[in-house]
Structures are given as structure tokens and as C-alpha cells.
Chain A
Amino acid sequence: AQSVTQLDSHVSVSEGTPVLLRCNYSSSYSPSLFWYVQHPNKGLQLLLKYTSAATLVKGINGFEAEFKKSETSFHLTKPSAHMSDAAEYFCVVTRNTGGFKTIFGAGTRLFVKA
């Protein structure tokens, strides 16, 4: 069975410092992994996705994530946080075995301090 664990429910950083949001997955198959962002009172927007073409994936707004199969991780990083990054972030895995389901992690809320 596939599952997604986001290791931190809340992360707080100062503006200009690095961001690390952690995600571990379990999958019986080669997974498709995504990070989505949800700003307050808004819908969800795709940040980036891993689809086996490259292990280091670059997304929008300076975010990137590295797929590490040996660690079953897909952590999201950004070198320098901006106030506008404050939002909730979801790690997502899709599975396509006799159907097509989408599994969301519980989410990590990122706070950015001035």
C-alpha cells in the first residue's frame, strides 16, 4: 500500500534562511510524487513533481526537491525563505494499480518570521 508521511506539522523559519519540509513515502511501485502549496483561503497549486526523469526536481518560486529511493524520501527545500512562502505544503503520491488514487500527506504549515 502507498502512504505519505510529512514529518513536521509546523515549521518556523526566519526570512532569508533555508527551508526544509520533510516527506517520506512508502510505495510498492516506482512512485509519482508531488508537492502542492495552499496559501490561506486559497486552492492548491502545484510546486513540483517527480516522475523518474531526474532525482533533483526544480519547481516554482525557487523550491526544489530531491527523490532519494534508498531513504524513501522526497524532501522540499528552498535556499532562502520569503514572507510570501508562508502557507501549507502537501506531499502527494499517486498510485495507478487497477484504479487511480491520490494520497496526501497531512500537511506542513510553514511560518516565516520577519
Chain B
Amino acid sequence: EAQVTQNPRYLITVTGKKLTVTCSQNMNHEYMSWYRQDPGLGLRQIYYSMNVEVTDKGDVPEGYKVSRKEKRNFPLILESPSPNQTSLYFCASSRASGGLAYNEQFFGPGTRLTVL
């Protein structure tokens, strides 16, 4: 089954304790992206990756890191989480062929993060 998986689905942590949220897709997509969803703000893009070893900032990158060492994986790293990073996080992927701007993004199930 074609899918985007995220782990963990739920995480409660404390301020300053480094964490990683994993994202993996099995569709051989070139493009991957991380979003955070907050009430009344919709989804905001954190980072995206056009392909292996190619990453770029979205609109809200502060406090986050990413890496793209393999095509299927795109982990999100919070090196020193703070309470304002409490949010619902989504990973997405899309193929690049045919014009990236026109292609559907496939979303993971989400990771609900609480930073105390």
C-alpha cells in the first residue's frame, strides 16, 4: 500500500530534550515536506526537500532541522524543543515528474507533539 508513515504518532516531552520525528514514504517520491498545524492558522510549511541532500526552509523553520540522506526518509529534528513547538505535525510527499507544482501531496497521519 502506498503510504507516508510517521513515528511516533504521539509524543509528550520536556523543554530542551532533543527529539526526532521520523517520516518515510514508499512511493519513490522526490519531494518531501514537513508542516505544523495550529488552530486558526492552517498548515505552515517548516522545511521541504526536492531530492536527496537537497533541503530548503519553508515559512517557519526556526527551531527545527531536517536531513534527507535517503530518498524515502525525511526526519524532523527538534534539538531543543520549547513549549511553542507544541503542535500537530504532518509529513507529506509528492512526485516531481510532470511539474511539481501540479502534483498532489500525500500526507502522513500526523504526530501530535506536546512540549512541557
A residues at B contact (CB < 8 Å) = 6, 9, 32, 34, 42-46, 49, 51, 90, 94-96, 99-107
Contacts and interface: CB of A to CB of B under 8 A. Distances in A.
A32 B105 CA distance: 13
Contacts of B43: 44, 90, 104
Given A43-B109, A104-B43, A49 B102 contact: yes
B33 to A, nearest CB: 7
A100 B102 CA distance: 11
Given A32-B101, A43-B107, A44-B90, A100 B44 contact: no
B105 to A, nearest CB: 7
Interface residues of B, number: 26
Interface of B: 31, 33, 35, 40-45, 48, 50, 56, 58-59, 90, 92, 99-102, 104-105, 107-110
Contact of B105 (A42, A96, A101, A102): A102
Nearest to A50: B102
B100 A96 contact: yes
Given A43-B108, A51-B102, A100 B42 contact: no
Contacts of B92: 44
6 contacts: A32-B101, A51-B101, A94-B101, A96-B101, A100-B50, A100-B101
